């Protein structure tokens, strides 16, 4: 369904199926898993432009990626053009394929700083940020937005053209307002409005929990590509189904589930210190352990994993439960 375009990273982002950046979830290991499953591009967790400018160790750690993840974009957030200028120059030397600007995060802490969705209430400020990045990098610049601050404050029809004029090569749209947070249905007609007014490609994002959900979103909006976020957590096979166009390919066998979790765990072990590894792994395990009989009890045990033996025990029981569920459904 979605084909790679060799040596054309931007097209792989704008006309493919992309893993959305999600703080605390889409680290290097999970991004690699999703690329193996067919995601045509990935984006880092959001990184503070100000933190990069101050040479923050925490911010720099978020820039870590493996060549297997390419094409990969780095997502920057903030509200001061000067911070974005320095950050853009820095990441341009790090073999990323594009730079994405976050103007969509609805989280209170981010919004209260004037960043994320708050920029949608100050279009001149957002335009200045895009200009700052595009003028300090040779990489393509993309922007992630929402539909606006609230239904009473939607983004203007002129926004796509404004962003394009400042150097944006593509726009990804999450189909909710900031006031919606993550509740309610995605407003497909509002995404379509942005698509119709945009001189650059628009990628649709929101509530794609299955292959059919994602294809319906694309058909309804006329977007050039898709971005999958929460629908990929614990379900990277959604990319396989979208690439082949076969919904059944998004349903893995029990042994596949366990194999992928083991791969993700081993990759996480490459760069996460052991004193932090299992705390972080617990959240990833919970993404996979859901939707079948016995999941609640297994999740209760998964939050206590503290060593390799614990992980092996959890995965053995997970495979057994999934096989039982599969037999039950045959």
C-beta of residue 102 within 8 angstroms of C-beta of residue 63 = no
Contact 8, 205 (CB under 8 A): no
Among 39, 52, 105, 311, which one carries the catalytic annotation? Answer: 105
148: left (phi over 0), alpha (psi -120 to 50) or beta: left
What is residue 100's three-state secondary structure?
strand
- SS3 category, 225: strand
Calculate Rg over the CA atoms of the chain.
20
- Which ranges of the chain would DSSP assign to H, the alpha helix? 9-14, 28-37, 49-53, 57-61, 81-91, 108-112, 123-134, 159-165, 188-196, 211-221, 237-244, 254-271, 274-288, 295-302, 308-329
Distances (CA, A) of 287 to 51, 128, 205, 294, 303: 29, 38, 20, 15, 11
CB 64 within 8 A of CB 41: no
Spatial separation of the C-alpha atoms in residues 215 and 209, rounded to whole Å: 11
**Separation between Cα atoms, residue 319 and residue 325, nearest integer Å:** 10
Residue 102 host element (H or E) = strand 98-103
Strands 148-150 and 153-154: antiparallel
For the question of residue 105 being annotated catalytic, the response is yes
Rounded to an integer, what distance in angstroms lies between the CA atom of residue 248 and that of residue 238? 10
Q: Which residues are catalytic?
A: 105
């Amino acid at each position: 369904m979605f084909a790679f375009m060799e040596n054309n990273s931007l097209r792989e982002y704008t006309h493919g199926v992309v893993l959305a950046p999600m703080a605390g979830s889409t680290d290097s290991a999970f991004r690699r898993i999703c690329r193996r499953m067919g995601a045509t591009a990935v984006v880092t967790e959001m990184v503070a432009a100000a933190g990069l400018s101050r040479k923050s160790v925490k911010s720099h750690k978020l820039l870590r990626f493996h060549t297997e993840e390419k094409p990969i974009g780095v997502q920057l957030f903030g509200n001061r053009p000067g911070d974005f200028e320095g950050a853009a120059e820095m990441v341009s030397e790090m073999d990323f394929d594009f730079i994405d600007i976050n103007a969509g995060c609805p989280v209170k802490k981010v919004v209260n700083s004037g960043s994320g969705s708050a920029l949608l209430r100050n279009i001149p400020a957002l335009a200045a940020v895009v200009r700052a990045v595009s003028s300090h990098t040779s990489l393509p610049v993309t922007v992630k937005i929402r539909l606006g601050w609230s239904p009473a404050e939607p983004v203007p029809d002129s926004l796509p053209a404004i962003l394009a004029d400042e150097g944006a090569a593509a726009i990804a749209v999450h189909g909710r307002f900031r006031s919606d947070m993550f509740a309610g249905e995605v407003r497909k007609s509002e995404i379509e409005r942005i698509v119709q007014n945009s001189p650059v490609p628009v990628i649709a994002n929101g509530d794609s929990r299955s292959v059919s959900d994602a294809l319906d979103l694309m058909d309804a909006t006329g977007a050039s590509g898709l971005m999958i976020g929460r629908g990929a957590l614990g379900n990277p096979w959604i990319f396989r189904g979208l690439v082949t166009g076969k919904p059944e390919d998004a349903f893995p066998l029990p042994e596949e589930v366990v194999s992928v979790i083991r791969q993700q765990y081993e990759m996480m072990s490459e760069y996460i210190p052991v004193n932090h590894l299992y705390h972080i792994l617990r959240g990833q395990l919970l993404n996979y352990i859901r939707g079948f009989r016995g999941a609640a009890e297994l999740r209760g045990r998964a939050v206590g994993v503290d060593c390799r033996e614990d992980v092996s025990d959890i995965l053995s029981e997970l495979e057994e439960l999934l096989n039982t569920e599969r037999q039950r459904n045959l």
